[in-house]
Amino acid sequence: MYLIVGLGNPDKKYEKTFHNMGYIAVGDAAEALGAKFKKKECEASVAEAFVGGEKVILARPLTYMNNSGRAVKQLMSKYKIDEDKLLVIYDDYDLPKGKVRIRANGSAGTHNGMRSIIGETGLKNFARIRIGIRDENVDIPIINYVLAEVRKEDYPLFADACHKAGEAAAEFARGLDIEKVMCKYNSNA
């Protein structure tokens, strides 16, 4: 069984912000897998898919970004998810806007949602897909930037990045080894 989590904030006012890239991308993954977000459990909005007879849980935590780990921990416990079957998709200020980076493991970096997941679960060796959001031409504090709405002229760039991240997550859920997913989907520098 797989768990794919897209990080974001649940309120409508955050819908088009940089911090919701994970929510958007997990929606693209759900679409690729033929799943719809229909229920709420474990402090998350959840969609279910079946791939080759294996269940895939797709989730958007409803705990707000900084407490994302609560929902992830609950879902992992409820569904008995192994660390190697967890994948988290999130925005990353440390990457240039529109870049997609996939890793088999790592640290939280500057991301509070990832800090929460690592802190709550005690795990670090799980796959993650990062969607770059940094714009070299914008000089405002990170907290203000991540909660800002994406500029209309940047919509196509971020829509493409989220779609790519969603497709990569779907490949992972279909059983493609994370190293192969990385080779196939990591953006060029």
98: tokens are 């529109």
Task: State the average pLDDT over residues 77-83.
Answer: 97
| pLDDT of residue 139 exceeding 90 | no
97: tokens are 């806007």
| pLDDT of residue 188 exceeding 80 | no
Which is the catalytic residue, given 6, 9, 19, 165? Answer: 19
Q: Residue 187 has what pLDDT?
A: 62
Active-site annotation holds for 19? yes
pTM confidence score:
0.95
Q: What is the pLDDT of residues 23-78, one digit of tens each?
A: 999 999 999 999 999 999 999 999 999 998 899 999 999 999 999 999 999 999 99
Domain locations in the chain as residue ranges: 2-185
Q: Residue 110 has what pLDDT?
A: 81
Q: Find how far residue 79's CA is from the centre of its chain.
A: 19
- CATH number of this structure's domain 2-185: 3.40.50.1470
Q: What is the pLDDT of residues 94-136, one digit of tens each?
A: 999 999 999 999 888 889 999 999 999 999 999 999 999 999 8
Query: Could you tell me the strand order of the sheet in which 127-134 lies?
Result: 37-41, 44-51, 54-61, 2-6, 86-96, 127-134, 100-103
Beta pairing partners, 58 = 4, 47
Task: Check if the beta carbon of residue 91 is closer than 8 Å to that of residue 134.
Answer: no
Helices (H), 80-154: 112-121, 142-146
